[in-house]
Amino acid sequence: MNLESILFSQGFGTRRQCRGLIADARVSVAGESCTDPLADFDTDGLVFGVDDESWPFHERAYLALNKPAGYECSRDPQHHLSVFHLLPPQFAERNVQCVGRLDQDTTGLLLLSDDGQFVHAFTSPKRKVPKIYVATTRHPVDDAQLQALRDGVLLHGERAPSVALAANARGEHELELSVLEGKYHQVKRMVAAAGNRVEALHRERIGGYTLPADLAPGAWKWLDAAELTALRNTG
């Protein structure tokens, strides 16, 4: 692939803007400046630089973000900053999307991608991808509440009960909840229907992929092949 096309595919602007970056000697490959937009490179394992910042080539973007509180999962946020403020602008340029949404006050694992099939696979209720949340509760967690969540609670406006795959106490005011669906405020509504109230909510896991302990709030990472395989493990 030629250098202009590489930059364009990775979200560095229009083709004209990419040619400008190259002509201005702002792009390097293997540590060497390259001013030829038509120079061809093998994209397998390619790492190039723009303004001395390294950028690995990825045909598709698969990202994990440790979402902090106070950010909306929208390109057009209403009351808070968008999660896209936490990412390099190249991702918005290449139309990376949130894979589902977290409420502005919910923290934890958020996936993003520019692969439409991947986004659909992890948002469609038919795919039955489990998600694990940790909720801090206002009142102590008791066995009756946990059993109600396992048996299913009827949410306002719903005809069928919402059932937790698993519900376990982690502490007096903390419970772990595993759900398949992604309804509006689902975990908060389920906990309320069981007789408690969520004070803080954190998504810890999607499928077989757990948010890395060393990924700080607000930080993001590329997902590698092994992590994508773990993500798809719903067993």
Which tokens in the block code for residue 233?
């493990």
Amino acid at 57: F
- For Cα atoms 52, 55, 56, give the angle at the middle one, nearest 5 degrees: 145
Find residue 27's DSSP bridge partners: 50
Which tokens in the block code for residue 145?
């509440």
CB-based contact 172:229 (threshold 8 Å): no
Q: Give the span between the Cα atoms of 152 and 232, in whole angstroms.
A: 26
Find residue 140's DSSP bridge partners: none
Which tokens in the block code for residue 79?
């009351």
**Residues annotated as catalytic (active site), given as ranges:** 103
Phi/psi at 209 (5° precision): -110, 125
Phi/psi at 130 (5° precision): -70, 145
Alpha helices in the chain (DSSP H): 3-9, 15-23, 89-93, 116-121, 143-151, 186-193, 225-231
